[in-house]
Amino acid sequence: MEKIITISRQFGSGGRTVGKMVAEKLEIPYYDKELIEKIAEESGYAKEYISEESEYAPGITGFTYGFLGRGSDGLSNADRIWFAQKKVILELAENGPCVIVGRCADYLLKDREDCLNVFIHASTEFRADRIVSQYGETSVHPEKRLKEKDKKRKLNYKYFTEQEWGKMSNYHLSIDSGKLSIEKAVDIIINAAGGNHE
Amino acid sequence: MEKIITISRQFGSGGRTVGKMVAEKLEIPYYDKELIEKIAEESGYAKEYISEESEYAPGITGFTYGFLGRGSDGLSNADRIWFAQKKVILELAENGPCVIVGRCADYLLKDREDCLNVFIHASTEFRADRIVSQYGETSVHPEKRLKEKDKKRKLNYKYFTEQEWGKMSNYHLSIDSGKLSIEKAVDIIINAAGGNHE
């Protein structure tokens, strides 16, 4: 079976839930927020800073990542976090089967043959309903928030990987969770990864 | 289950084989070349003409589709073939469960709730190997031929649907047949469509 499953997802598509359920069913570790702790340990930056800032594309948010933010080694904070993230993700993959959500893991692990890269997407209507009902987001203009979040993910991904986030050819499997349901998406991924036995 | 399965595919990805196998396993009709016959009957144009010309985007191939090709009703040959294609595909879908390969069926049937739209893609290497070994194509620059074929499909799709061919959000399921294999793609589609029982 494919050992490592990476899940990239549009905001509000339920990709995180899908990843968690896949990991539970396959009885393998699930990394999402846990990654931030590990990156914090590795890089020395605060968890909150990593969580908040690393969603943004450097250069977009101004001074934080700009020229003034560079140390004597010529690296920006964003670069240092990126290198720590890379190290953490490569090490986790070495440790054995797991599910990793977000954080450009698909790109970072692209040289591994045993990696299944999945993208979860859904219609704007489905995702707007979901962030209001499930995440408790305000029901005022949820579409705008979806757009903003996905734009940030796209810019961040592009900056570090020079690839296009959400472009079909970068993923082995792309699933519309709105049309097919979260449960069906989980089934399909487990089937694609080779089931829950080696 | 989803009654209608449309398969769009990159040239050489094995999408046609996938579609045929899905139809066989589900014991439902499969429409591919059969569509051309039906469109020929409906439109009055020759099968060979439809098969060859309707792959191109009007305006790209010059006189055939140009102003001079328009009849007294203001329609070009391409327009007439398009209307016949639309009629044929909508009628087939009305007749019951089936698999339809290509011909913008995903777009033409977008208002039906019971339609599963699938896209099959694969790396250039996989597809180049495949068209040489399976289709008996010349092994000189197969990559160039892949590019040309997909470009034609893209332009044709764009002209008639005003949507982007191969854009993830237009499909419910996108599968890399090179990574996952033709057989696994078939399994995944049948699972997504709800299995082979109602």
Mutate to test the interface with B, among A3, A125, A179, A187 (most CBs of B within 10 A): A179
Q: Is B192 within 8 Å of A180 when comparing Cβ atoms?
A: yes
In a domain, A149, yes or no: yes
The first and second tokens of residue B16, run together, are: 């046609």
pLDDT tens track for A69-84: 566 677 778 888 888 8
Reply yes or no on whether the pLDDT at B15 is more than 50: yes
The Cα B152–Cα A54 span in angstroms is 40
CATH number, domain with residue B131: 3.40.50.300
* Domain interval for residue B115: 4-187
Say what the pLDDT of residue A40 is.
86
In a domain, B194, yes or no: no
pLDDT tens track for B112-165: 999 999 999 999 999 999 988 887 777 778 888 888 888 888 888 888 888 888
In a domain, A29, yes or no: yes
Q: Is the pTM here over 0.90, yes or no? A: no
Q: How far is CA B116 from CA A98, A120, B54, B106, B143, in A?
A: 30, 16, 24, 8, 30
Which residue of chain A is at minimal alpha-carbon distance from B172? Answer: A176
Residue in B121, B167, B191 closest to A191 by CB: B191
- Matching residue, tokens 């069913």: A25
Say what the pLDDT of residue B53 is.
65
Residue in A119, A169, A192 closest to B121 by CB: A169
In a domain, A194, yes or no: no
pLDDT tens track for A124-140: 999 999 988 887 777 77
Q: Please, what sign has the CA dihedral across residues B188, B189, B192, B197?
A: negative
Residue in A123, A167, A172 closest to B179 by CB: A172
Set of chain B residues whose Cβ sits within 8 Å of the Cβ of A12: none
Set of chain A residues whose Cβ sits within 8 Å of the Cβ of B116: 179
Reply yes or no on whether the pLDDT at A64 is more than 50: no
Q: Is B188 within 8 Å of A191 when comparing Cβ atoms?
A: yes
Q: Do the beta carbons of residue B45 and residue B85 sit within 8 Å?
A: no
In a domain, A46, yes or no: yes
Residue in A174, A180, A187 closest to B174 by CB: A174
Q: Is B168 within 8 Å of A166 when comparing Cβ atoms?
A: yes
CB neighbours of residue B76 within 10 Å? 19
In a domain, A22, yes or no: yes
Set of chain A residues whose Cβ sits within 8 Å of the Cβ of B176: 169, 171-173
- Chain A residues with at least one Cβ partner in B under 8 Å: 116, 119, 121, 123, 166-169, 171-176, 179-180, 184, 187-188, 191-192
In a domain, A97, yes or no: yes
Task: Tell me the pLDDT band of B197, cut-offs 50, 70 and 90.
Answer: very low
Which residue of chain A is at minimal alpha-carbon distance from B180? Answer: A192
Reply yes or no on whether the pLDDT at B82 is more than 70: yes
In a domain, A192, yes or no: no
The Cα B58–Cα B67 span in angstroms is 10
Average pLDDT (A58-76) is 56
Residue in A174, A180, A187 closest to B168 by CB: A174
Set of chain A residues whose Cβ sits within 8 Å of the Cβ of B119: 168
Q: Do the beta carbons of residue A53 and residue A35 sit within 8 Å?
A: no
A30 sits in which H/E element: strand A30-31
Q: Does ipTM exceed 0.90?
A: no
Task: Tell me the pLDDT band of A58, cut-offs 50, 70 and 90.
Answer: low
Say what the pLDDT of residue B58 is.
58
Angle at A63 between CA A57 and CA A64, to 5 degrees: 60
Q: Is A171 within 8 Å of B174 when comparing Cβ atoms?
A: yes
Set of chain B residues whose Cβ sits within 8 Å of the Cβ of A173: 173-176, 180, 188
Q: Is A173 within 8 Å of B169 when comparing Cβ atoms?
A: no
Counted domains in chain B: 1
Max avg pLDDT among A59-73, B5-19, B35-49: B5-19
